[in-house]
Amino acid sequence: MQPLPRDASASIFANILMSTSVHVPVELLKAVDRRARALRISRNRLILRALERELEQGSEWSVGFFEKLRAVDRQTVEDTELMLSAIRRQRRSKEPPKL
């Protein structure tokens, strides 16, 4: 997929826009508005930049990676607790961080 040119005058197709509707949580939208004001650009321009950047960079995580992390069996949970307990017992100079 070819990203849109940054310079709108570089291609006639860069000026053809399509409207869409996106549902954004209120707090996220407030953060978007704050960032757009700080950058002195429109909310729309900021969102377009973020989308272009995501499409250019992509994601380093494979599809389903986080779902697999969430699907933890009871034995893994128990083993992890035992491991953390052993680590905490071996600490000497400082208290363990609160996770």
Q: In this structure, are residues 69 and 61 in contact, taking their beta carbons and an 8 Å threshold?
A: no
Map tokens 């650009």 to a residue.
41
> How far apart are the C-alpha atoms of 18 and 43, rounded to whole Å?
16
Q: Does residue 99 belong to any structural domain of this protein?
A: no
Q: Is residue 97 part of a domain?
A: no
Domain contains 95: no
pLDDT of residue 16: 72
Percentage of the chain with pLDDT > 70? Answer: 82
Question: Residue 47: inside a domain, yes or no?
Answer: yes
**20: in domain:** yes
Average pLDDT, the chain: 81
Q: CB-based contacts of 99: which residues, under 8 Å, 6+ apart?
A: none
| Domains of the chain: total | 1
Stretch 56-72: mean pLDDT: 78
Q: Would residue 65 count as lying in a domain? A: yes
Residue 1 has pLDDT above 70, yes or no: no
| Structural domain that includes position 17 | 8-90
pTM over the 0.75 mark:
no
Whether 1 is in a domain gets the answer no
Look at residue 96 and tell me if it is in a domain: no
